[in-house]
Chain A
Amino acid sequence: MALSRLSSRSNGIIRPFSAAFSRLISTDTTPITIETSLPFTAHLCDPPSRSVESSSQELLDFFRTMALMRRMEIAADSLYKAKLIRGFCHLYDGQEAVAIGMEAAITKKDAIITAYRDHCIFLGRGGSLHEVFSELMGRQAGCSKGKGGSMHFYKKESSFYGGHGIVGAQVPLGCGIAFAQKYNKEEAVTFAMYGDGAANQGQLFEALNISALWDLPAILVCENNHYGMGTAEWRAAKSPSYYKRGDYVPGLKVDGMDAFAVKQACKFAKDHALEKGPIILEMDTYRYHGHSMSDPGSTYRTRDEISGVRQERDPIERIKKLVLSHDLATEKELKDMEKEIRKEVDDAIAKAKDCPMPEPSELFTNVYVKGFGTESFGPDRKEVKAALP
């Protein structure tokens, strides 16, 4: 029954050898082995195997969560155009496989830190749609109380450290988190993510040097979507082999549009980092939108290129094909799932729109730990003067 769909697959997924014929969508954990589409390229280490252990539940989970992420980003696009989201909004659609694959390989004790393209990673770390949309629209219920915005999502309980506007600066922070993990003997690792544009920042090499010197469990993940805003990677980097740039630090190049390759690589990296110290992962991925909502994304690349990647390498399509070929769901069931997701996202947006803006007094809270000002009183010690100094 499953074999009838094989003809529609064109991207070389090798026929699975244990087909799960069950149609139960949610709880089947029968193991499935999936081959990654491309081999890994390694630098100073042995690449992991191309066969990834998975299960039908995981496959469907992947599909569902990635579809949710995609839908969320597209909804954010409309909200931005409706001027409900202002400022900078950097969308992640196309790159969902990186967030999903990484989450599948690690626990919530492992830390992730990234730059400003953080909506989907926040979601992957356990954030809710309501928090995302509220924060994007600057409402009270946002994950940073509306004071951070698109570029400042954080979730302390899930070890998600943000959310940073100045690219490159999050990598030393990430190495510091890895240092703390080693200091406290936590057996956890930190994934410090950055893009191909930020890969040219000097502080990355500084941080990498220290991490390698002190054997910190830091994993540097370069999400190479081939464009640093408007500058293609070949115009910005003399050596576009970002996984080799660690020189003395091992690296691995991964097909970032294949969630299973990402999962395998992250698992491999975690084991490596805990034993031997830092490692660099380069995720070869692509973003469909421009750099941010202010960038049309078509002045420095052709529309053919974008649609070409969408046809051949789209991460959700890949998972969809896998699901269908393993007979885990029918086309209709998947479409229904997508409709459900769409509704979920619309509901979350509606709920976030109803949420109030932050109180004026919130302007001064959280500047210091005790609110605002470390108690600078007026001259008669009676009124607290918020204006400092």
Chain B
Amino acid sequence: MSSIIHGAGAATALSTFNPVDSKKLVSPSRTNLSVRSQRYIVAGSDASKKKKSFGSGLRVGHSQKLIANAAVATKEADTSASTGHELLLFEALQEGLEEEMDRDANVCVMGEDVGHYGGSYKVTKGLADKFGDLRVLDTPICENAFTGMGIGAAMTGLRPVIEGMNMGFLLLAFNQISNNCGMLHYTSGGQFTIPVVIRGPGGVGRQLGAEHSQRLESYFQSIPGIQMVACSTPYNAKGLMKAAIRSENPVILFEHVLLYNLKEKIPDEEYICNLEEAEMVRPGEHITILTYSRMRYHVMQAAKTLVNKGYDPEVIDIRSLKPFDLHTIGNSVKKTHRVLIVEECMRTGGIGASLTAAINENFHDYLDAPVVCLSSQDVPTPYAGTLEEWTVVQPAQIVTAVEQLCQ
């Protein structure tokens, strides 16, 4: 069984994306869709020339050349896009999960309504019929206990995939995740490994209310011993799910409630995404925009506007929330010298805050402007639709921020 491990990820340009209505997430024109290339070399690799000042020297012609480069990359890679099958993101997760359960009998799934009901977001649909009740376990509502049980089972060698029906519910299991999941490998001097995957949907949805719109990545990020990844496309969802299950470390896989119906064509052959690697979504020259999960699509929407205005943003989906892929990010910062972080976490203590600190610490000399971080407001997510929209970052704000940074 050949397994292709892809370094960098897809550059997905959803040209008609409308951030307000998630139903229209299916991109009608497939010609723009570029599938990943093997080793994505950053287009425009004259980073070595180290032009430090873009200041007032924004040259429109330069950016057009780069876009042409991107188009070239698209066409080259397009030949491999002829095979493959199209599916929605939740189906991609299911496929990844099913393949791993086929491959390793130790993988089991536990969570509320994952079995007979098929999963509240259909990620585990059909698995209970195929694998039986002992491998796809419907638990009662007791996050603390079943997360603990998953961790205990992992200590003996099983590989449970624990689902929080909504990530917010896992706050009830915080003790188990922090103390037992994260720390047991260390406090036992390496005797026990905890190869669990904790996954579930989080993020701000469609008027789900404050308690069901939480972003837990900011709460979990300090826990030593765990890894966190956020998926954003069907391709990386399947790849990250598989990588997380195969990893010997505990991995928390953050999905987003609004991204489950994204459609994309993914390869037929087996592939895994690297857990610690960021994905180059759109190479550019003027500014680095770091984002993850749903905000990627807001950024790409803003990128369209920016390109029309003559800017050339480089968009990176950081994917790995813990640890940060400072290699990819660093290379990008060295090239563009400006960073904008767009995230869905709260302003205070979010992933963006840590990332800002990391970039300032490591790449201070390469920055021409302070790192700007656009995050959600520090408020509980309100129910009213308009208010909810203002809680999260919208494409217009991204455009404004880029314009200000690139002055």
A-to-B contact residues, CB < 8 Å: 111, 113, 142-149, 152, 154-156, 161-166, 169, 171-177, 179-184, 202-203, 206-207, 209-210, 213-214, 365-369, 373-379, 381, 385, 387-389
Contacts and interface: CB of A to CB of B under 8 A. Distances in A.
A180 B194 CA distance: 13
B140 interface: yes
B142 interface: yes
A166 B325 CA distance: 33
B148 A377 contact: no
A113 B236 CA distance: 38
A127 B176 CA distance: 26
A210 B224 CA distance: 29
A179 B149 contact: yes
A171 B152 CA distance: 9
A375 B325 CA distance: 9
Question: What is the interface of chain A mostly: helix, strand, loop, or mixed?
Answer: loop
Interface stretch (B21-29, B178-186, B300-308, B369-377): B178-186
Contact of A172 (B149, B276, B358): B149
Chain B, interface SS category: helix
Given A176-B154, A206-B145, A209-B142, 18 more contacts: A145-B189, A147-B186, A148-B187, A154-B188, A155-B191, A161-B155, A172-B149, A174-B152, A175-B148, A175-B149, A177-B153, A181-B156, A368-B225, A376-B276, A379-B327, A379-B363, A385-B326, A388-B324
Contacts of A142: 189
Interface in B319-359: 322-327, 330-331, 334, 354-355, 358
14 contacts: A154-B188, A163-B188, A169-B180, A171-B148, A173-B176, A176-B152, A184-B158, A206-B140, A210-B139, A376-B326, A378-B362, A379-B363, A385-B326, A389-B358
Contacts of B154: 176
Contact of B148 (A181, A207, A376): A207
Interface string B250-265: 0000000000000000
Contacts of B134: 182-183
Interface string B212-228: 00000000000011010
Nearest to B133: A214
A176 B326 contact: no
A203 B142 contact: yes
B224 to A, nearest CB: 6
Contact of A389 (B156, B180, B188, B323): B323
Contacts of A149: 187
B189 A173 contact: no
B249 interface: yes
A2 to B, nearest CB: 46
Contacts of A366: 185-186, 189-190
A282 B139 CA distance: 27
Nearest to A209: B140
Contact of A176 (B150, B175, B331): B150
A171 to B, nearest CB: 8
Contact of B180 (A143, A164, A379): A164
B151 A173 contact: yes
Contact of B146 (A162, A172, A385): A172
Given A144-B189, A156-B192, A368-B185, A389 B354 contact: yes
Contacts of A172: 144-149, 151-152, 176
Contacts of A375: 276
A367 B142 contact: no
A376 B324 contact: yes
A145 B190 contact: yes
A85 to B, nearest CB: 17
B275 interface: yes
B326 A154 contact: no
A374 B323 contact: yes
Contacts of B363: 379
B403 interface: no
Contacts of A389: 322-324, 326, 354-355, 358
B248 interface: yes
Contacts of B248: 369
B225 to A, nearest CB: 5
Contacts of A165: 179
Nearest to A362: B189
A367 B144 contact: no
Nearest to A154: B188
A147 B158 CA distance: 25
